[in-house]
Structure 1
Amino acid sequence: MVDVDDGTRVTGTLTAWNDDRGFGFLTTDVGDRRVFVHISAFPRASVRPVLGESVSFEIETAPDGRSLARRVTGERMVRAAAAPRKAAESPRRRFARRILGGRRPASFDY
């Protein structure tokens, strides 16, 4: 097994995942080390993890000595997080759209 210092970025594969409970295990590409991963280690705006997915992550050691994955990233996750989001509509515009049916009143000077 390869020793990795806390915070070192490594690559691996998601080998087990329990979507209902939000945790699973990653296996490192070098040394076949099995590392626990929680859903909170993935980017917030990313898609759900998929078995067999290649990822990059940092390994930290918990106080009880177990290895934990932190700051997990992957190609699918980056693309999902970077997807453009629709801008929120202002309350004033929402009111005008609802009341006026999208028409501008004649008194508006644009």
Structure 2
Amino acid sequence: MSAYDWDTHNRQAVAEGRQILERTTASLARSNQVAIETENTGTEILSELDSQREALLRTGQRLDNADDGLSSSNKIMRTMLRTAFYNKLILILIIFLEICILAGMIYMKFVK
């Protein structure tokens, strides 16, 4: 009986070891699948980040171009404002001279 118990005990131990090995193998397979999915997700994220980086660089270039355009427009507006101011100043001077000439003519007409 002792040999029979020993044989049964060994068979049970081997069966338990085989079950543990199968569970470990299944666990390793699941872990491997999770690692593959994680790697795929990481690759997709890196690809998306790369395209977002390129979009941000293009946006930065557009903003630089817009800034250059705004600076140029600002210079043009200042020049136009200065020109308009000088034109008004000259117009006021001309009107003042015309008033002086008219006053002088009226003075000369009534004084003589």
- The verdict on a shared fold, with TM-score over 0.5 as the criterion, is no
Who wins on radius of gyration, i.e. which is larger? 2
Q: Which has the higher contact order (CA 8 A, sep 6+)?
A: 1
Q: Which has the higher strand share?
A: 1
Q: Which has the higher helix share?
A: 2
TM-score, reference length from structure 1 = 0.23
TM-score, reference length from structure 2 = 0.23
